[in-house]
Amino acid sequence: MAVVELWETLKHAIEAYTGLSPAAFFTAVAVAAALYHVMSGLFAPPPPPPPRSREPEPEPLPPPVQLGEVTEEELKQYDGSDPKKPLLMAIKGQIYDVTQSRLFYGPGGPYALFAGKDASRALAKMSFEPQDLTGDISGLGPFELDALQDWEYKFMSKYVKVGTIKKTVPVEDNTASTSPATNEATPAASETTGETEAENVPATEEKPKAAVTKEVEEKEAPADKETAADEAVKES
């Protein structure tokens, strides 16, 4: 009896305060609850992501090692192919340690071609051609030289200089090839000169002898004449 009386009281209250029948009232309450659930799902913040496994921290980079003066062939050993060696690159003969930018200059990076080389010409021309991967900057224009200067300032401010490239002086083979010919020609010339002198010496020595003989004969002729005249006088 108490439940029936409570339900009758509730129905009269719903009708009195809402003006709806009990069925319409409970239908409206159910629709409102469904709308609230849907709207709260749309505007609710996303659930937090699941906790990630803790990744190991990268090892700190070793301090730059000063190389001093090396050749271009020795510099190729530091192109990043050996992860135990530093990553080096040169600009205008100055070598810089670019290990901290391995993503750019290491294997697979966008500038990996420049590692282990003096790429001055390639940086000035922004070229990736193999023939431009050299430190020869002859023939570059003023704009290209300015671009190269900007690259050099960037490297000087960001990376540590660890050495310089040893300049090799090209040896000319022309001197060696022409020297034997010159040496062979010299004895021949000296022999020719000696033969000429040998031919000239007797000729110059014979002329004075003939001249002396002629002068002696000319001096003796008057003496012979005088002697003959004296003998004729004595006989007479």
Q: What is the mean pLDDT of residues 97-101?
A: 91
Residue percentage of the chain with pLDDT more than 70: 67
Higher pLDDT, 161 or 60: 161
Q: Is the pLDDT of residue 75 over 50?
A: yes
Task: Report pLDDT for 131.
Answer: 92
In single-letter form, the type of residue at position 143 comes to F
Q: What is the pTM of this model?
A: 0.50
Quick one: pLDDT at residue 17?
74
For residue 49, the SS3 value is coil
Rounded Cα distance, 103 and 85, in Å: 15
CATH number of 68-165, picked from 1.10.3720.10, 3.10.120.10, 3.40.630.30, 1.10.150.120: 3.10.120.10
How far is residue 139's CA from residue 84's CA, in Å, rounded to a whole number? 38
What pLDDT does residue 162 have? 93
- Looking at per-residue pLDDT, the higher value among 121 and 43 belongs to 121
pLDDT for the residue numbered 6: 76
More confident residue, 59 or 50: 50
Average pLDDT of 29-34? 85
- Per the CB < 8 A criterion, the answer to whether 115 and 102 are in contact is no
3-state secondary structure at position 217: helix
Q: How far apart are CA 17 and CA 65, in angstroms?
A: 88
Contacts of 161 (CB under 8 A, 6+ apart): 94, 95, 96
| pLDDT range class, residue 87, cuts 50, 70, 90 | very high
Angle between helices 2-18 and 22-43 (to 10 degrees): 70
Residue 14 has a pLDDT of 75
d(CA 198, CA 235): 56
Q: Where are the domains of the chain?
A: 1-28, 68-165
